[in-house]
């Protein structure tokens, strides 16, 4: 088996460009493709949400996988598979088709009310069940079932159940944590909806977390291997509740097998030399286009264009994790340096309101666009001088890597993947390609922005740092090789040593 092509079944609740709420979608698009290019045979399973149009996205009904029945509140529902027809050699993407559960405008919740869908338990029980149904009906036997975040947390549990009846005996599971703060917690009713779960649901048991059914815990307890998306985050989430969100003990109990593999970037989509979304392309050899992008971006946001005033960009879910609570108090100080700021993002209503208020009272200096806008995101990466990520925690983070590739120097808090990818230009002049601060505090954030501002005034130094940033390799190739090694080490494990039932 070990010398054959590795067969990987990759399950993810969002995949760009079909569905996306954050970095998981980028990873779920790029990693399977990089694994296929590295010689693996990869099948991806994801829901076909209402927003994914079959015709436009080149999805057809799949003839190879049988329909199956899934029970929702006692009612049997027919579930089928769609298949992406534009797939690459070694890579197939399957969409789980179940209108009753997935045909809605949002991915996890209602975009109008901001509330999670009340039946998310059914929706993600189905996703992981469908992965096994697909294998059963096509006779395809993966070496590794690879789940991502709580939405695929039941994948290892299903494999454990299957192996107890002799099925998929040689397969193993890997769980990747993209953000440990999201647990997938449900009430007691959910336990009865998961075949075989009742025996493993008891206080402190492998499916329970503070009196609730926990999908993430199921994944962490039953998986043969667990990893996360940067080495620093792997250490942080085991260090205590601040980063581990209550899962630290469960992770520590696994011994030292929780490792970090940095995400790569889709370097074709995020390439300033070929980017179709930006007014002017540019590269390391000729940065002239970047100036034009800044001019156009300033115009779009109603700012005057001034070369000597740095333009700071931010693209982010507007949630506490991303550092808005330390940023908001010092926005006036940052604007007074002087700088101009553009924020794109959506999320928490109160935070969005505060940003809207800044935009109203500081026109020409502060711009906020609420919403999700892929093209504007590219324009910000290309047109800004500085990119801000003051995250409280950051499992890996992609925007700092995109920014460096676009010669837009990041100011980051040194946590998780930000600590692993951005080295401070003052502390490390040889390798530094950004500015970082450690303490989660407004004044420390402000000082880092001040340092970026001072450095910006020194044109030749700024240019040298930009060129260094743009020459860094953030492609998936290296990480895909590390995932292949991790799959191989999963396969060396003796199968389940399952947590005990009650």
CA distance 357 to 366: 10
CA distance 8 to 141: 9
Measured from the CB atom, the residue of 24 and 52 that comes closer to ligand ADP is 24
How near is the Cβ of 299 to ligand ADP at its closest, in Å?
A: 20
Dmax over CA atoms of the chain, in Å, equals 69
How near is the Cβ of 441 to ligand ADP at its closest, in Å?
A: 21
CA distance 242 to 236: 8
Binding to ligand ADP, residues 1-40 (CB under 6 A):
22-24, 26
How near is the Cβ of 154 to ligand ADP at its closest, in Å?
A: 22
CA distance 31 to 500: 33
How near is the Cβ of 294 to ligand ADP at its closest, in Å?
A: 18
The answer to the question of residue 375 lying near ligand ADP (CB under 6 A) is: no
Measured from the CB atom, the residue of 40 and 343 that comes closer to ligand ADP is 343
The answer to the question of residue 496 lying near ligand ADP (CB under 6 A) is: no
How many residues interact with ligand ADP (rule CB under 6 A)? 18
Binding to ligand ADP, residues 377-436 (CB under 6 A):
377, 396-399
Residues 6+ apart with CB under 8 A from 71: 77
Measured from the CB atom, the residue of 206 and 260 that comes closer to ligand ADP is 260
Measured from the CB atom, the residue of 28 and 92 that comes closer to ligand ADP is 28
CA distance 356 to 371: 12
Binding to ligand ADP, residues 331-370 (CB under 6 A):
344-346
CA distance 252 to 180: 14
Give SS3 for 234. helix
Binding to ligand ADP, residues 278-337 (CB under 6 A):
315-317
Measured from the CB atom, the residue of 158 and 483 that comes closer to ligand ADP is 483
Measured from the CB atom, the residue of 90 and 323 that comes closer to ligand ADP is 323
End-to-end CA distance of the chain: 35
Contact 146, 41 (CB under 8 A): no
How near is the Cβ of 323 to ligand ADP at its closest, in Å?
A: 12
CA distance 308 to 462: 12
Residues 6+ apart with CB under 8 A from 471: 284
The answer to the question of residue 372 lying near ligand ADP (CB under 6 A) is: yes
What does the binding site for ligand ADP look like in residue numbers (CB under 6 A)?
A: 22-24, 26, 315-317, 344-346, 372-374, 377, 396-399
């Amino acid at each position: 088996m070990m010398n054959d092509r590795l067969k990987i079944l990759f399950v993810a609740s969002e995949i760009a460009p079909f569905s996306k709420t954050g970095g998981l979608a980028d990873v779920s698009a790029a990693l399977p493709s990089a694994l296929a290019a590295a010689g693996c045979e990869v099948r991806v399973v994801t829901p076909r949400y209402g927003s994914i149009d079959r015709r436009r996205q080149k999805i057809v009904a799949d003839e190879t996988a049988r329909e199956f029945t899934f029970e929702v509140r006692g009612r049997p529902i027919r579930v089928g598979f769609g298949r992406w027809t534009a797939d690459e050699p070694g890579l197939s993407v399957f969409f789980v088709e179940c209108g009753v559960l997935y045909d809605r405008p949002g991915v996890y919740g209602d975009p109008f009310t901001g509330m999670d869908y009340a039946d998310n338990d059914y929706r993600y029980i189905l996703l992981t069940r469908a992965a096994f149904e697909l294998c059963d009906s096509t006779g395809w036997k993966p070496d590794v079932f690879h789940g991502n975040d709580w939405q695929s947390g039941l994948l290892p549990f299903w494999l454990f159940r299957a192996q107890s009846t002799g099925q998929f005996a040689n397969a193993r599971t890997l769980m990747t944590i993209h953000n440990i703060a999201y647990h997938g917690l449900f009430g007691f009713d959910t336990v009865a909806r998961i075949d075989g779960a009742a025996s493993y649901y008891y206080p402190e048991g492998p499916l329970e977390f503070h009196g609730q059914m926990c999908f993430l815990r199921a994944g962490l307890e039953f998986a043969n291997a667990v990893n996360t998306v940067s080495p620093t985050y792997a250490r942080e989430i085991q260090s205590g509740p601040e980063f581990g969100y209550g899962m630290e003990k469960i992770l520590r109990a696994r011994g030292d097998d929780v490792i970090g593999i940095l995400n790569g970037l889709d370097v074709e989509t995020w390439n300033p030399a070929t980017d179709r979304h930006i007014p002017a392309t540019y590269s390391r050899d000729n940065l002239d286009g970047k100036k034009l992008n800044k001019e156009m971006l300033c115009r779009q946001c109603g700012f005057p264009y001034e070369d000597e005033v740095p333009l700071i960009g931010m693209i982010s879910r507007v949630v506490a994790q991303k550092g808005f609570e330390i940023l908001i108090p010092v926005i006036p100080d940052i604007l007074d340096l002087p700088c101009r700021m553009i924020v794109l993002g959506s999320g928490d209503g109160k935070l969005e309101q505060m940003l809207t208020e800044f935009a109203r009272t500081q026109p020409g200096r502060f711009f906020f666009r609420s919403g999700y806008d892929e093209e504007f995101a590219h324009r910000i990466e290309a047109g800004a001088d500085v990119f801000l990520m003051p995250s409280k925690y950051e499992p890996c983070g992609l925007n700092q890597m995109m920014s460096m590739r676009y010669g837009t120097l990041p100011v980051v808090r040194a946590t998780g993947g930000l600590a692993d990818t951005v080295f401070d230009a003052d502390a490390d002049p040889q390798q530094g390609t950004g500015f970082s601060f450690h303490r989660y505090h407004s004044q420390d954030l402000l000082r880092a922005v001040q340092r970026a501002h001072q450095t910006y005034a020194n044109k030749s130094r700024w240019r040298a740092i930009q060129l260094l940033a743009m020459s860094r390799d953030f492609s998936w190739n290296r990480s895909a090789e590390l995932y292949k090694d991790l799959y191989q080490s999963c396969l060396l494990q003796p199968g389940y040593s399952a947590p005990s039932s009650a």
